[in-house]
């Protein structure tokens, strides 16, 4: 049975996907989540996922009955291909091709394909992802054109219409913080600060106003600047 009132959220345990999860919980009668173990260096984000989900179930009564099953899928092909600072012990810097070495070729396409296949089996036709081309590192698979093209391809390939929702596509990081507050109040902002993982190095030892992280990688830099702008608005 097709359930148009159910969404499947690509949920990594990071700030963006947590905001997207709240966005989906605010709009759909039932929400399931899916995470991906692709051999990422910052795999502490996978440890954060159950903590965030548990907090959403117990601390946000308006969403408690809407939050459904969680799924974890292994995609070790990306680590086997290698060559990325997110899957290998490499320096995060700008590469010769004009993209940062943290770029994982095809990552979002892999994620969306796996999520769509899971959604197909579960009768879900609405996918939600945290892709954004406003505040990002230049990754081509985060662009709106890429996501729209992928949605069309997946719909054709499975002979089923999928909608891929990207609520953060036009938002900067300050607006993402503001969205969390709008959807879940200070409690969701606090949860985002304390539990979500953005740092590419997976640093959970250094605490800042905006959360935990090394404070030096591009992901930490974006998160910190966004929080500073949000906090002083």
Q: How far is CA 31 from CA 9, 22, 60, 213, in A?
A: 7, 10, 14, 29
SS3 206: coil
Question: Could you tell me how far CA 37 lies from the centroid of its own chain?
Answer: 13
- Which pLDDT band holds residue 136 (cuts at 50, 70, 90)? low
Domain count, the chain: 1
Look up residue 122 and give its two tokens: 């579960």
Residue range(s) defining the domain that contains residue 173: 3-231
The pLDDT of residue 85 = 87
Average pLDDT of the residues in 202-216: 96
Determine the straight-line distance between the first and last CA of the chain, rounded to whole angstroms: 46
In whole angstroms, give the CA distance from residue 92 to residue 184.
33
Which pLDDT tens digit goes with each residue over 10-34?
A: 999 999 999 999 999 999 999 999 9
CATH of the domain at 131: 3.40.50.620
SS (H, E, C) the chain: CCEEEEEEEECCCCHHHHHHHHHHHCCCCEEEEEEEECCCCCCHHHHHHHHHHHHHHHHCCCCCCCEEEEEEEECCHHHHHCCCCCCCCCCCCECCCCCECCCCCCHHHHHHHHHHHHHHHCCEEEEECCCCCCCCCCCHHHCHHHHHHHHHHHHHHCCCCCEEECCCCCCCHHHHHHHHHHHHHHHHHHHHHHHCCCCCCCCCCCEECCEECCCCCHHHHHHHHHHHHHHCC
The pLDDT of residue 221 = 94
Which pLDDT tens digit goes with each residue over 184-200?
A: 999 999 999 999 999 99
Which pLDDT tens digit goes with each residue over 72-120?
A: 999 999 999 998 989 888 888 878 787 788 889 999 999 999 999 999 9
Work out the widest C-alpha separation in the chain, in whole angstroms.
49
Which pLDDT tens digit goes with each residue over 37-79?
A: 999 988 899 999 999 999 999 999 999 999 999 999 999 999 9
| pTM for this predicted structure | 0.95
The pLDDT of residue 90 = 83
In whole angstroms, give the CA distance from residue 23 to residue 126.
13
């Amino acid at each position: 049975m097709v359930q148009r009132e159910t969404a499947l959220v690509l949920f990594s345990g990071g700030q963006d996907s947590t905001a997207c999860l709240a966005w989906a919980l605010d709009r759909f009668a039932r929400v399931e989540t899916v995470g991906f173990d692709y051999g990422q260096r910052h795999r502490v984000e996978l440890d954060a996922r159950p903590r965030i989900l548990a907090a959403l179930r117990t601390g946000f009564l308006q969403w408690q009955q809407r939050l459904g099953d969680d799924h974890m899928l292994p995609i070790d092909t990306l680590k086997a291909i290698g060559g990325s600072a997110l899957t290998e012990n490499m320096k995060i810097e700008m590469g010769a091709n004009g993209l940062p070495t943290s770029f994982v070729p095809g990552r979002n396409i892999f994620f969306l394909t796996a999520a769509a296949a899971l959604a197909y089996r579960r009768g879900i036709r609405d996918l939600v992802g945290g892709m954004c081309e406003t505040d990002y590192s230049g990754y081509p698979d985060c662009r709106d054109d890429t996501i729209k093209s992928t949605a069309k391809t997946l719909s054709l390939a499975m002979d089923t219409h999928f909608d891929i929702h990207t609520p953060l596509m036009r938002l900067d990081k300050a607006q993402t913080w503001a969205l969390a507050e709008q959807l879940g109040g200070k409690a969701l902002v606090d949860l985002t600060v304390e539990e979500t993982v953005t740092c590419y190095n997976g640093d959970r030892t250094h605490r800042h106003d905006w959360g935990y992280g090394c404070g030096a990688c591009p992901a930490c830099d974006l998160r910190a600047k966004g929080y500073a702008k949000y906090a002083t608005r």
